[in-house]
């Protein structure tokens, strides 16, 4: 017999005759609640993952930030339940890679939280908590912001590879969990992922770090390990079993990074001056255009032509 249970109903309300704890029903309730998405609340910054999307629109970010600064809710926090589940499965994979794999290496760099007193220390993993003496730690990603571009992001993993004139030199890793279909086709890094890395490099530089290189680590979600042989492809990637990494040498991308920073700095200036950016997206010729219809800021967007001060029309 199949029993359907509506999302967002508390288990005890939905099936009164069932006693005890049901993991499936509990998850159904949890995904419908706000709590699971608390970390994803809009924070007033453009995020590398959003910027690198083909759908990114400067005006959309502008209106979101204006509303955020006015203390109103942003539209951008809403995401359907199936996306939340996908995000959380990706997060679980990240947690495993960070805390069970990378944490074994002494040059793994980031924030370390003591599970006992919750003190957080930044740098290499401490030998013991400086407050309570506890010897175990949980790895926390470094969350960085850049005021010049109004961008922010959390970096999956960093490794200290040296020092120069008092600045720490880091190698970065960004982890992407992908399907087997995507994994099998992957011969070069996804361009959107490369743009994300470039913005992470800018965030690190703004925080005073030097970046040596960044790697994109693709992890196939559905493939078990069948071998442990490291293979270096002529296409420029290194792989083993369900893992494939691409190295992004920072020097090769400086020109591209500078172009992206110009776009974001221009938007940041508009935001600080409250001046509405002028150009609408190519797909938003009118309110009835397909892209505008799916944009939650289209109401605001079609009030302004651009160049006006927000809130004065
Ligand atoms: S309607 Fe189009 S141009 Fe306007 S904010 Fe939305 S996506 Fe951007
Ligand atoms: Zn402690």
What pLDDT does residue 168 have? 97
Q: How high does pLDDT run on average in the chain? A: 87
Which residues are bridge partners to 112 per DSSP? 121, 139
Task: Report residue 302 as tokens.
Answer: 């079609």
pLDDT at residue 12 greater than cutoff 80: no
DSSP code, position 223: -
Atom from ligand 1 closest to the CA of residue 63: 5
Burial of 9 (0-12, 13-18, 19+ CB in 10 A): middle
What pLDDT does residue 250 have? 76
What pLDDT does residue 20 have? 80
Q: Compute, in angstroms, the gap from residue 113 CA to the centroid of ligand 2.
A: 8
What pLDDT does residue 18 have? 54
The predicted model gives 189-196 an average pLDDT of 95
The 10s digit of each residue's pLDDT in 157-182 is: 999 999 999 999 999 999 999 988 99
| Ligand 1 pocket, residue 276 CB under 6 Å | no
The 10s digit of each residue's pLDDT in 227-267 is: 778 888 888 889 888 899 999 887 888 999 999 999 999 99
Task: Report residue 300 as tokens.
Answer: 């605001």
pLDDT band at residue 17 using 50, 70 and 90 as cut-offs: low
Query: DSSP assignment of 236-248, as one string?
Result: SEEEETTEEEEEE
Question: Between these two residues, 55 and 39, which has the higher pLDDT value?
Answer: 55
Q: Does domain 38-270 have CATH number 3.90.320?
A: yes
| DSSP 3-state of 119 | coil
For the question of whether the overall pTM of this predicted structure is more than 0.75, the answer is yes
Other C-beta atoms closer than 10 Å to the C-beta of 231 total 11
pLDDT band at residue 14 using 50, 70 and 90 as cut-offs: low
| Ligand 1 pocket, residue 291 CB under 6 Å | yes
């Amino acid at each position: 017999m199949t029993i359907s249970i509506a999302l967002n109903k508390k288990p005890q309300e939905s099936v009164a005759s069932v006693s005890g704890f049901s993991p499936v029903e509990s998850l159904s309730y949890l995904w419908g609640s706000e709590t699971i998405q608390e970390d994803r609340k809009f924070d007033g910054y453009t995020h590398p993952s959003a910027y690198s999307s083909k759908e990114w629109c400067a005006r959309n970010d502008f209106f979101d930030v204006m509303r955020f600064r006015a203390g109103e809710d942003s539209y951008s926090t809403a995401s359907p339940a199936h996306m939340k589940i996908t995000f959380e499965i990706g997060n679980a994979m990240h947690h495993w890679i960070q805390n069970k794999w990378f944490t074994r290496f002494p040059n793994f760099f980031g924030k370390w939280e003591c599970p006992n007193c919750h003190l957080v220390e930044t740098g290499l993993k401490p030998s013991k908590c400086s407050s309570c003496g506890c010897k175990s730690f949980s790895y926390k990603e470094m969350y960085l912001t850049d005021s010049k571009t109004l961008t922010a992001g959390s970096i999956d993993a960093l490794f200290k590879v040296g020092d120069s004139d008092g600045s720490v030199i880091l190698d970065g890793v960004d982890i992407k969990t992908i399907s087997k279909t995507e994994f099998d086709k992957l011969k070069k890094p996804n361009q959107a992922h490369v743009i994300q890395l470039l913005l992470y490099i800018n965030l690190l530089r703004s925080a005073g770090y030097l970046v040596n290189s960044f790697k994109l680590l693709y992890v196939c979600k559905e493939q078990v390990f069948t071998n442990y042989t490291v293979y270096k492809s002529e296409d420029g990637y290194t792989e083993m079993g369900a893992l494939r990494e691409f190295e992004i040498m920072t020097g090769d991308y400086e020109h591209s990074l500078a172009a992206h920073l110009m776009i974001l700095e221009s938007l940041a200036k508009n935001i600080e001056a409250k001046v509405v950016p002028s150009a609408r997206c190519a797909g938003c010729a009118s309110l009835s255009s397909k892209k505008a219809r799916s944009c939650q800021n289209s109401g605001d967007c079609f009030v302004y032509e651009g160049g006006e001060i927000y809130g004065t029309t």
